[in-house]
Structure 1
Amino acid sequence: MLQPKPDPRKTVKSLLSSAFAAVALLVTTPALSQSETASQLPFGPGVTKLVVQDNRVDRKLEGDLWYPTGTPGIFQRADKSKVWQMADADPEGEPAEGTFPLLVISHGMYGNTFNQAWLASEMARRGYIVALVNHPGTSTFKRDADQARELWERPVDLSRLISYLVETSPYKTRIDPERIYAAGHSLGGFTTMLLAGAQFDTDRYRSVCTDDATPVACSVLKGWSVAETQRDQKEMETRREDERIAKFISLDLGGTPVFSRSSLAAIDKPVLVLGSGRADMLDQTIESRALSSALPENSHRHVELKDAGHFDFMGVCKSAGFAILKEHEPGDEMVCINGGAEREEQHRRIVREIVHFLEQ
């Protein structure tokens, strides 16, 4: 299989195996803590492991389910990574009574469920059930050339996840089927927009991805041999819209150039488009701004977060994170640029935008 051409921004390694391989389950090394902010929120952040049980034996889906607990001041933090600060959680905490909206989140290229665990924790505290799975083939721990090539399976993963949760899982009675939402970061944003009704356009892909000066997404898709056969083109162009999802959230997505403009214009569900004002990884003109321009004006909101970077949608880095990555994974230290207090402030802004969008 062809490999993406080297990029100084190290696109393919943006979520490195070495850093996340050191992360243990959230249930380890508990340390009880409480903060003024946490105590003001209505719920605590419960979390449990999640395995989707359906008839797809060829593509196992595993991840984490976050949920509201009735004890907002009780949570724990695992401390098994030297680079990343773990999200606050109450592992296997007693679920709060009631029915809650469901938010499914798709991670970025070679990412995993830890990447947006911070967001899941914050949303659980605000009364949301949040589900995240590792996409086979394009996750940190499950890299496979054939599965990566079958990029159309990513939105199917989330539809399967929703079906399991609302139809057969032990959590089905706790989910409000009228309030199902989807969000995704980077390639996860691309995945989320496919669920909203966006469609891959082979002709656009061929015309846009023609030379070395192509968008970042082109090198990724070419490297994974996406849509190189007629069968794969048909699969990629097949509509993957999930009507059960009421609202969609794009977190600095990559891949807008290969979407059919007519399919974007036809999306009739609310979409929140969050972009990175610092534009350290993706050209906003051809990504989030272009997505906003193509969507119906009255059904979406576009916010370009000033000073935010692509990796601010991931977790917070520890103070030593930048130096550790620079020494052991040269080039990957970029994920921790402004990754401490500055990123925590970006997280607060992101959560405010998401909550406002979902609850308006």
Structure 2
Amino acid sequence: MFRRRCAALSCALSLLFAPFSALPSAAQPAADAPAGWHVGAASRVFHPAAARDWRGAQTEALITRIWYPADPSQPETRQDIGPPGRPIFVGHPVAASAPLSSAHPRYPLVLLSHGTGGSAESLDWLAGALAARGFIVAGVEHLGNNALEPLTRDGFTLWWERATDLSEVLDGMLADPQFGPRVDPARIGALGFSLGGYTVLELAGARTDLAAFERFCTSPAADAICMPPEAARLVHDTGASSLAPTALSPATRASRARAGDSYRDPRIKAVFAIAPALGEAFDPDGFAAVTIPVALLAGSADQTAPVDTNIRRIASLVPRAPVTLVPGASHYTFMDVCEPAAVERLPMLCKDGPGVARAAVHAQTAAQVGDFFAATLAPGAS
């Protein structure tokens, strides 16, 4: 179902995409793993010690959803995702507040970054699948740019700040009395969808060229990435005119001045970007400092983050990164499966093209992502 491109220097990484059962035992998340864990669920609200710019968000904290391996003896129950009484997505069954499995003393951790205006729970299908394979997954609600509260202009446009959200969530997870002692600090990865894909590339060491992106979006070549559909939800209009210097606060100006800084977090050992956005925000030298494993995946019919200016452009700058294009899949194919009642009222999020079975795409994608992290976050992996 999937098409992969293997660049000359990336073929050595083909093991990363072998069936999980075919990987060497050292690549397993933990030795002697049970046939499959149940999925535990918890949440945290992290308050970073250092002062920071909250991007105008109502919630000045890092709300974090956590999925983790629980023993199969812990009963799972169905969960629906969305407003009470009007759920949008079908959630992975979870054993809420169950103890972290005692099968192993420590587990690898994967940080999760959602897309523009989304939420960690919109990627529950993937986080739950990773937890069932023995990973702890921590997904943050990005400040000023999530589905839980109104979007803000700074949350929507200061994308490079999102990398700091994940680094601070990692600080919080390692200091957490329940999860901290159970996280293996040598096996930490990051996974993102859409703008979250851009975010984890920043954690890997990619640098943003804001001026290049703004030139692209004011040129005849500008495409859908310049004005994503979520822009309609902003409290204030964020058209190009709102980015004029006279419209920006001192805090926003200061952030824009550091857009090209490195947000590399050396604790991150591998990243996987799904339908990564903002390919035109990287210049030819933007990935010069990226030395950790990177993998890329998107739908061939993505019209929200068009493949030529996003995943293919990024792939051209990271020649060792394995690339997968899922035939017929759109951008939102990689969000949770929708509840039947939500399909007609939210067609953009819920409807896929002819011949695309979202649940099947999810199953194959989750297996591929799990294999990637099982190999790159294996004990002793480099």
Q: TM-score with structure 2 length normalisation? A: 0.75
Deviation at 1:334, TM superposition (A): 1.9
**Structure 2 residue identity aligned to 1:61:** L
Q: Would you say the 8 A contact 1:42–1:72 is kept in 2?
A: no
Q: Which has the higher contact order (CA 8 A, sep 6+)?
A: 2
Deviation at 1:174, TM superposition (A): 0.6
Which residue is equivalent to 1:349? 364
Alpha-carbon distance in 1 for matches of 2:172, 2:76: 27
Q: Would you say the 8 A contact 1:276–1:305 is kept in 2?
A: yes
Which residue is equivalent to 2:180? 172
Q: Which runs of 5+ in 2 are unaligned?
A: 1-33, 55-59, 232-237, 376-382
Relative distance call for 1:277 and 1:146 in structure 2 (3 A) is closer
Query: Is 1:155 the counterpart of 2:163 in the alignment?
Result: yes
**Structure 1 residue identity aligned to 2:188:** I
Of residues 51, 55, 67, the one that matches 2:49 is 55
Alpha-carbon distance in 2 for matches of 1:162, 1:187: 19
Which residue is equivalent to 2:312? 289
Query: Is 1:123 the counterpart of 2:138 in the alignment?
Result: no
Relative distance call for 1:223 and 1:172 in structure 2 (3 A) is farther
**Structure 2 residue identity aligned to 1:128:** F
**Structure 1 residue identity aligned to 2:172:** Y
Instruction: Between 243-252 and 65-74, report the one with greater CA deviation.
Output: 65-74
Of residues 99, 111, 120, the one that matches 1:104 is 111
Residues 259-281 of structure 1: CA deviation (Å, up to 9, x unaligned):
13212243111011011122242
Deviation at 1:202, TM superposition (A): 3.0
Q: TM-score with structure 1 length normalisation? A: 0.80
Deviation at 1:82, TM superposition (A): 4.2
The 5-angstrom pairing of residues 298-309 of structure 1 reads: 298=320, 300-309=321-330
Query: Is 1:85 the counterpart of 2:106 in the alignment?
Result: no
Of residues 239, 246, 251, the one that matches 2:262 is 239
Q: Would you say the 8 A contact 1:41–1:125 is kept in 2?
A: no
Deviation at 1:233, TM superposition (A): 2.9
Which residue is equivalent to 2:24? none
Q: Which runs of 5+ in 1 are unaligned?
A: 1-39, 326-331
**Structure 1 residue identity aligned to 2:126:** L
**RMSD (Å), alpha carbons:** 2.4
Relative distance call for 1:273 and 1:215 in structure 2 (3 A) is same
Q: Would you say the 8 A contact 1:205–1:258 is kept in 2?
A: yes
Alpha-carbon distance in 1 for matches of 2:35, 2:86: 27
Once the two structures are aligned, what percentage of the paired residues are identical?
Answer: 26
The 5-angstrom pairing of residues 1-360 of structure 1 reads: 41-56=35-50, 58=54, 59-71=60-72, 74-79=75-80, 80-97=85-102, 98=104, 99-142=106-149, 143-211=151-219, 213-219=221-227, 223=239, 228=245, 231-295=254-318, 297-298=319-320, 300-323=321-344, 325=345, 332-338=346-352, 342-360=357-375
Q: Would you say the 8 A contact 2:75–2:95 is kept in 1?
A: yes
Alpha-carbon distance in 2 for matches of 1:348, 1:169: 33
Q: Would you say the 8 A contact 1:43–1:72 is kept in 2?
A: no
Instruction: Between 48-57 and 192-201, report the one with greater CA deviation.
Output: 48-57
Q: Would you say the 8 A contact 1:67–1:128 is kept in 2?
A: yes
Q: Would you say the 8 A contact 2:224–2:303 is kept in 1?
A: no
